[in-house]
Amino acid sequence: MAKIATSFVNRYHLTSQTSLPQLSTYVEELASKLSDGKTKEQARKARDQAKRRFQQLGLSKEQADTLIPIQAPGRHVEERDPIKIIAQYIIKNNLSPEEINGIAYDLASSAPTVAGNSRLNLLRKKLCSLGADYLITEATKIPFITEEANQIQARKRILRGINGYDCPKFFYLEKVQERLNECDITKPPSMQNLIDIMVMLCMRSADVETLRINRYRPSRESWYNPDYSLYCTGYAKNKGEVGEPRPFLSMEKNPIRARELLIWIQKSIPDKFPFLLKDKDRNTNVVPLNLFLSRHRITSYMLRKIGADHASRVHGGKNDSGRQYLRQLACRHKIGHASSVEHYGVMNDRPIISVPKQENLEVEDN
């Protein structure tokens, strides 16, 4: 792996004077080259060899650690977060708005437009957590990149609505219901149990640890709906939302059973599913879920959409508007924000398998 390290130094003209923010922009490219086609153990050895080679070529240990972050299996290492390193560098060196803008542009340019814009958003979040003022965060904005990213995402959103998603057969409504009925809460849950319950309750990974289902008395509060006595709290909120109780609606019509299954999973999180525990930035690690779901060619991103569609079918939406309303309730969205639930009405109808008609054969009497 010394060749890869040498090639990187020569191609990007890296020296002991190269700044950490600039080095951070090469992390993903280098990680891909060092892990491509290798087992986990081979990739670990390749990273160690490349890190030693970088130091032999004149880079400091801190620079080598920035290029090749320390990695722990299945966990994000906060101290080696490249974007956090950039944020710390900006705060520590009291840079001018022009210098900050240049660093932000390099960061955004290190990935495709949408991903680059996401990195800028994350950089602003890290800066705010470090106490950066308004002028510093404003200097990280690259308007034309943000505008282009929004246009790309808008086009993709339209295409998703047109093309939709096909639900894997393994997650058809009746199959999920069958597996949920077979859940034995006296035994430790499996990863499949966790995933089925995430579908049942339309949960994001960030919801699993904190979601609560409780009974509420009649209230005059704006969130209260007299058609529902059970409400959810502790769900992951969108930016600017208030965590008010939301009506409980699920593909599992028995709320007591749904609550039992949720508590069963939550009690097992520390021992069985520690990746669902939030880190300092309130994020969870979805890699184990996505690895498990890869056999079905979906990610955890799809579970909530599948669950919302199942709930709308179980509760009998009679038309598109009614089904969207039910999806909105199942996802615990604020009623009236119709645009937010549009992302969940994209599950395609299951294909209708036509049975060939059997022709009547005339039998002649002999």
Residues 301-312 as b or e (16 or more Cβ within 10 Å = b): ebbbbbbbbbbb
Taking only the tens place, the pLDDT of each residue in 347-358 is 787 776 554 554
Q: Among residues 64, 1, 70, 73, which one has the least CA distance to residue 40?
A: 73
pLDDT value of residue 337: 58
Region 316-321: what's the mean pLDDT? 82
pLDDT value of residue 136: 93
Alpha helices in the chain (DSSP H): 2-12, 20-24, 27-35, 40-56, 61-67, 82-93, 97-109, 113-129, 134-139, 143-163, 173-181, 191-200, 255-272, 287-293, 303-314, 320-330, 338-341
Percent of all residues in the chain with a pLDDT value above 90, rounded to a whole number = 37
- Listed range (59-63, 95-99, 293-297) with the worst mean pLDDT: 59-63
Model pTM score: 0.67
Does residue 212 contact residue 290 with C-beta atoms inside 8 Å? no
Does residue 173 contact residue 314 with C-beta atoms inside 8 Å? yes
pLDDT value of residue 190: 96
Label residue 122 left, alpha or beta by phi (over 0 means left) and psi (-120 to 50 means alpha).
alpha
Please tell me the distance from the alpha carbon of residue 292 to that of residue 78, in angstroms, as a whole number.
24
pLDDT higher than 50, residue 242: yes
Phi, psi for residue 321 in degrees, rounded to 5: -65, -45
Please tell me the distance from the alpha carbon of residue 22 to that of residue 106, in angstroms, as a whole number.
7
pLDDT band for position 261 (50/70/90)? very high
Q: Is 50 helix (H, G, I), strand (E, B) or coil?
A: helix
Does residue 86 contact residue 20 with C-beta atoms inside 8 Å? yes
pLDDT band for position 280 (50/70/90)? confident
More confident residue, 73 or 359: 359
More confident residue, 115 or 39: 115
Side-chain half-sphere of 303: how many Cα atoms within 13 Å?
Answer: 26
Chain-wide mean pLDDT for the chain?
84
pLDDT value of residue 362: 46
pLDDT value of residue 263: 96
- How many Cβ atoms from other residues are within 10 Å of residue 216's Cβ? 17
The pairs formed by 171-179 with CB atoms below 8 angstroms and a separation of 24 or more are 171/199, 171/296, 171/298, 171/306, 172/350, 173/251, 173/310, 173/313, 173/314, 176/200, 176/251, 176/310, 177/251
Range from 110-114, 179-183, 220-224 that averages highest in pLDDT = 179-183
pLDDT band for position 48 (50/70/90)? confident
More confident residue, 151 or 39: 151
pLDDT band for position 345 (50/70/90)? low
- Listed range (294-298, 317-321, 334-338) with the worst mean pLDDT: 334-338
pLDDT value of residue 363: 44
pLDDT band for position 173 (50/70/90)? very high
pLDDT value of residue 250: 94
CA 60 to each of CA 9, 33, 92: distance values in angstroms, whole numbers, following the listed order: 13, 21, 19
pLDDT higher than 70, residue 335: no
Read out DSSP for 132-163?
Answer: --HHHHHHT--HHHHHHHHHHHHHHHHHHHHH
